[in-house]
Amino acid sequence: MSAPRPLSILLVGDYAEDARLGSSKVFFKLRDEFTSRGHSCDVVWAHDIGGWPANRHIRQLASPWLAGRALARRMGAKRYDVVDAASAEGLFLGVMNLVAHVDGHALICRSNGLEHTNYARMLDDHRHGLLPKPWTRRLWYPATRLTQVAAAARLADRLIVLNEADRRFALDRGWQPADRVALIPHGVSQVFVESAPAPDAPRGAGLLFCGSWAHVKGIAYLAAAMERLHADGHRWPLTVLGPGVDRVQVLDSFAPAVRPLVTVIDRAAETRVIEEYRRHDVLLATSSYEGFGLVVIEAMSQRLPVIATPAGYAETIVRDGVTGIRIPFRDADALSAAVVALMTDRCRRRQLGDAAHDAVAGLTWAATAAQTLAVYESARAGRTTR
């Protein structure tokens, strides 16, 4: 049997072209993997879609049509076998396929976290006093962006999601039949999997938080937990890596007595991030929502035990007491108790770290790319037989 011919792939997302950012990093990794297999892969980034309108709420409404304009330019110059568009950015192409019965490409709708489930999280944050959500925005966002996302998912040949909760959501609403919704987890670079530290490698840098400094990441409860730990006489240091905001803003989130324990490191290249996973003793993944949560599996691959909420893929991969510690959303008491339990028990940290490493051993970008390519081929075959 002859090998499948190389594909011409176009990835589309309203993301900054910055490999240090989560959703953007996915496109960089997929492009590298696709091209290493002999496929061609181009990307439409936010700067290709355009910077206007700058207002976030108007841009959410206009983004699919701006992306459609960028897609028309690219597809006018080159033929693509597969267009893989994130969120609602493939909506224009889906509508054109429906109206004009275009058969030249397969359209994939990719969710890096369903905006519908994230919107539910925003309402919860409002109820907890963290994020004001006026009634005007409660009407605007569902009527515009969420409607577009659902329409794009329905019009695509296949839907790719990152976690089981999003898969259930899409199936419950009938966006696609089960055989056209694929759950494909992200991965870890093979070089870091192969060079993971030994079980007894020295650590000692304390607690690590890695991610944007925003309420969706549970920062209010992280700060409260650190204050309680300090009040109980614990002085474990905390590193905040890649907050995306000024150092002073991060430190101002903590009580004055806690601030000397906090070190802030700006967004860094992947190699530096891996170094920090290897130096620290425990990762704190406190988000109230994640599309996937790359930092969790990256940390686990480096034998760093994690304390995580069931956000994103952590709901699947972090088994409480086996591959990590699971805590409820928005619970500073549970977080501080889990920190004490692990930081005072080196043997348990090592056991969890080893189990975590084994649990994510198969989650590589190579595996992600292979599963994604299989979805592409299935979508192309489906278009041929329709």
pLDDT tens sequence across 3-30: 578 999 999 999 999 998 888 999 999 9
* Position 384 pLDDT exceeds 70: no
Given this model, what pLDDT does residue 3 score? 56
Given this model, what pLDDT does residue 312 score? 94
pLDDT tens sequence across 225-283: 999 999 999 999 999 999 999 999 999 999 999 999 999 999 999 999 999 999 999 99
Distance CA 293, CA 298 (A): 9
Which two tokens mark 223?
A: 């700060």
Stretch 190-214: mean pLDDT: 95
Which pLDDT band, with edges at 50, 70 and 90, does 386 fall under? Answer: very low
Distance CA 131, CA 154 (A): 31
Cα maximum dimension of the chain: 68
* Position 177 pLDDT exceeds 70: yes
Residues 6+ apart with CB under 8 A from 155: 90, 91, 94, 95, 97, 98, 107, 109
Q: Which CATH number fits domain 8-187+364-385: 3.10.20.600, 3.40.50.720, 3.40.50.970, 3.40.50.2000?
A: 3.40.50.2000
Exposed (0-12), middle (13-18) or buried (19+): which is 385, by Cβ within 10 Å? Answer: exposed
Given this model, what pLDDT does residue 81 score? 95
State which amino acid sits at residue 58: I
Which pLDDT band, with edges at 50, 70 and 90, does 102 fall under? Answer: low
Q: Which residue from 9, 24, 30 is spatially nearest to 84, judged by alpha carbons? A: 9
The CA angle 234-239-240, to the nearest 5 degrees, is: 125
Shared fold status for 8-187+364-385 and 190-359: yes
Given this model, what pLDDT does residue 54 score? 78
190-359, superfamily in CATH?
Glycogen Phosphorylase B; (3.40.50.2000)
Query: Between residues 226 and 58, which one has the greater pLDDT?
Result: 226
The residue ranges of every structural domain in the chain are: 8-187+364-385, 190-359
Write the Ramachandran bin of 233: left for phi over 0, alpha for psi from -120 to 50, otherwise beta.
Answer: left
Q: Which of 44-48, 86-90, 137-141, 163-167 has the lowest mean pLDDT?
A: 137-141
pLDDT tens sequence across 329-380: 999 999 999 999 999 999 999 999 999 999 999 999 999 999 999 999 999 9
Distance CA 119, CA 215 (A): 13
Stretch 377-386: mean pLDDT: 78
Distance CA 276, CA 290 (A): 21
pLDDT tens sequence across 284-303: 999 999 999 999 999 999 99
Strand, coil or helix: 19: coil
* CA pseudo-torsion sign 289, 292, 296, 298: negative
Place of tokens 């928005």: 330
Which pLDDT band, with edges at 50, 70 and 90, does 130 fall under? Answer: confident
Residues 6+ apart with CB under 8 A from 294: 22, 25, 186
Q: What is the mean pLDDT of the chain?
A: 92
Tally of CA atoms within 13 A in the half-sphere of 11 that contains its CB: 29
* Position 113 pLDDT exceeds 80: yes
Residues of 46-65 as b/e, b for ≥16 C-beta within 10 angstroms? Answer: bebbeeeeeeeeebbbbbbe
Residues of 214-244 as b/e, b for ≥16 C-beta within 10 angstroms? Answer: ebbbbbbbbbbbbbbbbeeeeebebbbbbbe
Distance CA 149, CA 113 (A): 11
Query: What are the respective helix, strand and coil percentages of the chain, to the nearest 5?
Result: 50, 15, 35
